[in-house]
Amino acid sequence: MLTRLTGTLESADDALTITVGDFALRVEAPRYLLDRLADQTGRPITLHTRLDLESHNQGTSFSPRLVAFATPDEREFFDLFTSVKGLGTRRALRALAKEPSHIAAAIVAKDAKALQQLPEIGKRLAETVIAELSGKVDRFAGELAMHQLGATARASVIEPARLPPAAEEALAALIALGDARPEAERKVQLAMSKAGPDADANQLVNTVFGTGV
């Protein structure tokens, strides 16, 4: 499999054209990389590649598609991104209009609205991306991208909102009874909305079991 190539960048418009010796190769790339390389024509370049076979006519014929990335990490992010149901290679190339770190930060923050700003990504697909890639792309989320998501999104990722003392006590009780923390937090939040802000831990726990939240 072709995993890396070095040549001279001839053009970067809807795809990259790379000259390698006497050969000129047409190499596809995500939109963010095409934009990044737009002013680098005429320069030597090394790209990390992935070779796909695109199916035609219900799988009776195939054509090769060489896709390029600036680093192995960017290629690995693409591999994860295209593992999401509904995101094939062609669609993913158009969708990746922002750097992987920005997209990974949106996934970490569970920010579906940020993902919907990408081409090809609607509300349902944004939610699917978050559901399938949460916990898998954290290392790709750069600090700068996290900052650009805004203070609210950063707070949800870096420092979760603290519960009142009574709610924390009720949360601990539910976890001790066998609930996973995310489910226990959901129940306590609902109990707080039903029992009121002045409810103590016992009232919150009784609300959870009394209303089946």
Question: How confident is the model at residue 147, as a pLDDT?
Answer: 57
Beta bridge partner(s), residue 7: 45
Is residue 9 over pLDDT 90?
A: yes
Instruction: Name the amino acid, one letter, at 149.
Output: L
What is the enclosing helix (H) or strand (E) of 132? helix 123-133
- How does pLDDT run across 84-113, given as a tens digit for each residue? 998 889 999 999 999 999 999 999 999 999
Distance CA 93, CA 65 (A): 12
Tokens of 91: 């669609």
Question: How confident is the model at residue 73, as a pLDDT?
Answer: 93
Tokens of 76: 């690995």
- How does pLDDT run across 18-58, given as a tens digit for each residue? 999 999 999 999 999 999 999 899 999 999 999 887 766 66
Tokens of 109: 């923050």
Residue 126: pLDDT band (50, 70, 90) is very high
- How does pLDDT run across 141-181, given as a tens digit for each residue? 875 555 555 544 444 444 445 678 888 888 888 887 877 77
Domains, the chain, in order of start with CATH, read 1-70 (2.40.50.140), 71-161 (1.10.150.20), 165-211 (1.10.8)
